[in-house]
Amino acid sequence: MQNIITDPVFILAAGILVVVAGIIGFKLHPFLAMLFGALVVAMLTPAFSVEQYALNKGMSAKAALELSHKNIGERVAIEFGNTCAKIGVLIAMASIIGKCLLESGAAERIIRSILKLTGINKAPVAFLVSSFFIGIPVFFDTVLLLMIPLAKAITVRIGKNYLLFIMCIMAGAAMANSLVPPAPGPLFLVGEMHVPIGMMMIGGTFLGLITITSGYAYAAWANKKWPVPLRDSVDAHLEDIEEISRKDTSQLPGLGISLMPVLIPLLFICFNTILTSLPATNLKGGGAAFTALISTVEFMGDKNMALVIGGIAALIILAMQKRAGKEAIGTSVQAALMGGGGIILIIAAGGAFGGMLQQSGISMRIADLTKNYQMALIPLAFFITAIVRTAQGSATVALITASGILSGMATGAHLSYHPLYLCLAIGCGSKLVPWMNDAGFWVVCRVSNLTEREALKTISPLLAIMGISGLIAIMIAAKLLPSI
């Protein structure tokens, strides 16, 4: 009996039951449901599993033992705090940027320019492609936080297709994040599987464009079947957006100024990403001025610092456009932070739940269950990654787990195709299946105002369809172009 209760699969099932029953059955606030789920998983996880998890993460034997002896509340709080550290400043500043873009009319100005360039019918495609290429150097959550305010503004203007815009943004950013270096997951894969980074960039881009095409087809269908209205929220009142949409273009800020809160963080993050991908020897010997420039880019290119700078730019635009006093600007910031604060709490609770699942040893348990599974390597790589992702919520952990299982086979076996295809299969597998143990799921729900039910029947299938279509494309390519 004891072995069953401490089995990571049983612990996973118990955690899922608590979260799903809490949110759907008892109508609990997601923060509470995720927190209760994390506590239940932590209570069921034995100390030796926590210690082994810490050792696998590279912690010293002493630190691993100390972690395993911490009480349940402290372990949950540590993971809660770790998630806050990753996303707290990002979401707070992105909330301010979004609020300022909407209130100043900058979002409306950007939308009018997009519609002028693409036309109303092609606007969703513009969102899809732009989010894909922005998502290569910029973190997935950041892309969502920067682009969803634009989706709200364009929906008010054309009066339809809100869900389609959200799904297009989600599709592009998600696939870029798992397929194209220098995104962290693909960058790890190329090192582990010994695939040239340039080859992964080209292959990931081509495959990404194929998968987001299938994602767009599903998004267009889902938008017609389950249309979602643009809902009122604390940080984005519909009447305010509608009032701005009726203004003449001459009353709105210029396009260049309107883009600054988005472009400034985007450019700094991109420049920093390029620098970190270069060998250290290439950055030496350039003189004092060059060294100072590198240090400045590294400082401002940190994702938190870049969003702070973008937030300052957004506040300046709001102050200039509305000529508002300190009290009016303070009110706008307060409204933005009220919405952002709730998002941070929910995502942090989701991070705690996912962290407790990882400590239970579910990733290693799945690896053990699949080690003797005789299947072709490409679909095996895909399904292992998908199972781990669905079980514990983190796409990065799923990538690392699958590559750890398959790297030896990929480099030691005489494959009839290039190992690039295994990397791409792992990347596609990491898209299945986002649900309530995934922090990104909650970012989408809270920022877009989708309900949990709406997200589960639209966003989750969207990523699953793109992942599966990617697997099909990979297997066809491996057959037709085995050596690239």
pLDDT in tens, 30-43: 788 888 988 998 99
For 157-168, what is the mean pLDDT? 89
Amino acid at 415: L
Rounded to whole angstroms, the Cα distance separating 175 from 157 reads 28
345: left (phi over 0), alpha (psi -120 to 50) or beta: alpha
Rounded to whole angstroms, the Cα distance separating 175 from 138 reads 12
* Containing structural domain, residue 190: 88-346
Give the confidence band of 1 by pLDDT, cuts at 50, 70, 90. Answer: very low
pLDDT beyond 90 at 352: no
In the chain, % of residues over pLDDT 90: 15
Give the confidence band of 110 by pLDDT, cuts at 50, 70, 90. Answer: confident
Q: What residues have CB less than 8 Å from 161, skipping those under 6 apart?
A: 124, 155, 223
Give the confidence band of 214 by pLDDT, cuts at 50, 70, 90. Answer: very high
pLDDT beyond 80 at 8: yes
In-domain check, residue 274: yes
| 459 or 235, greater pLDDT | 459
- Closest by alpha carbon to 42, among 439, 355, 365? 355
pLDDT beyond 60 at 329: yes
Return the pLDDT at 217: 95
- Closest by alpha carbon to 135, among 166, 174, 185? 174
For 15-19, what is the mean pLDDT? 81
Maximum alpha-carbon separation in the chain:
73
In-domain check, residue 426: no
Return the pLDDT at 182: 63
For 385-397, what is the mean pLDDT? 77
Instruction: Kindly compute the dihedral angle of the four CA atoms of residues 457, 378, 201, 56, in this order, to the nearest 10 degrees.
Output: 80
In-domain check, residue 409: no
pLDDT beyond 70 at 12: yes
Instruction: Kindly compute the dihedral angle of the four CA atoms of residues 405, 411, 416, 417, in this order, to the nearest 10 degrees.
Output: 80
Rounded to whole angstroms, the Cα distance separating 8 from 43 reads 12
Return the pLDDT at 327: 67
Token pair belonging to 457:
């029947």
- The number of folded domains in the chain is 1
For 390-402, what is the mean pLDDT? 72
Rounded to whole angstroms, the Cα distance separating 442 from 352 reads 13
| 460 or 327, greater pLDDT | 460
In-domain check, residue 130: yes
Q: Please state the pTM of the whole predicted model.
A: 0.69
pLDDT beyond 90 at 425: yes
Token pair 């922090």 is found at: 439
pLDDT beyond 70 at 468: yes
| 209 or 267, greater pLDDT | 209
Return the pLDDT at 370: 60
Rounded to whole angstroms, the Cα distance separating 181 from 199 reads 10
For 315-320, what is the mean pLDDT? 86
Rounded to whole angstroms, the Cα distance separating 393 from 387 reads 10
Return the pLDDT at 372: 61
For 325-330, what is the mean pLDDT? 69
Return the pLDDT at 223: 93
pLDDT tens per residue across span 49-88: 888 888 887 888 888 888 888 899 999 999 899 888 877 8
Return the pLDDT at 245: 64
Give the distance, in angstroms, between the CA of residue 25 and the centroid of all CA atoms in the same chain. Answer: 27
Return the pLDDT at 367: 64
In-domain check, residue 111: yes
Return the pLDDT at 415: 67
pLDDT beyond 80 at 416: no
Q: Residues 210-247, buried b or exposed e (16+ Cβ, 10 A)? A: bbbebbbebbbebbeeeebebeebebbeeeebeebbee
pLDDT beyond 70 at 179: yes
Return the pLDDT at 177: 82
Return the pLDDT at 374: 44
Give the confidence band of 280 by pLDDT, cuts at 50, 70, 90. Answer: low
In-domain check, residue 319: yes
In-domain check, residue 165: yes
| 473 or 1, greater pLDDT | 473
For 118-137, what is the mean pLDDT? 81
Least confident of 184-188, 416-420, 469-473: 184-188
For 363-377, what is the mean pLDDT? 65
Rounded to whole angstroms, the Cα distance separating 123 from 151 reads 10
Q: What is the mean pLDDT of the chain?
A: 80
Rounded to whole angstroms, the Cα distance separating 320 from 388 reads 49
In-domain check, residue 443: no
Give the confidence band of 244 by pLDDT, cuts at 50, 70, 90. Answer: low
Give the confidence band of 474 by pLDDT, cuts at 50, 70, 90. Answer: very high
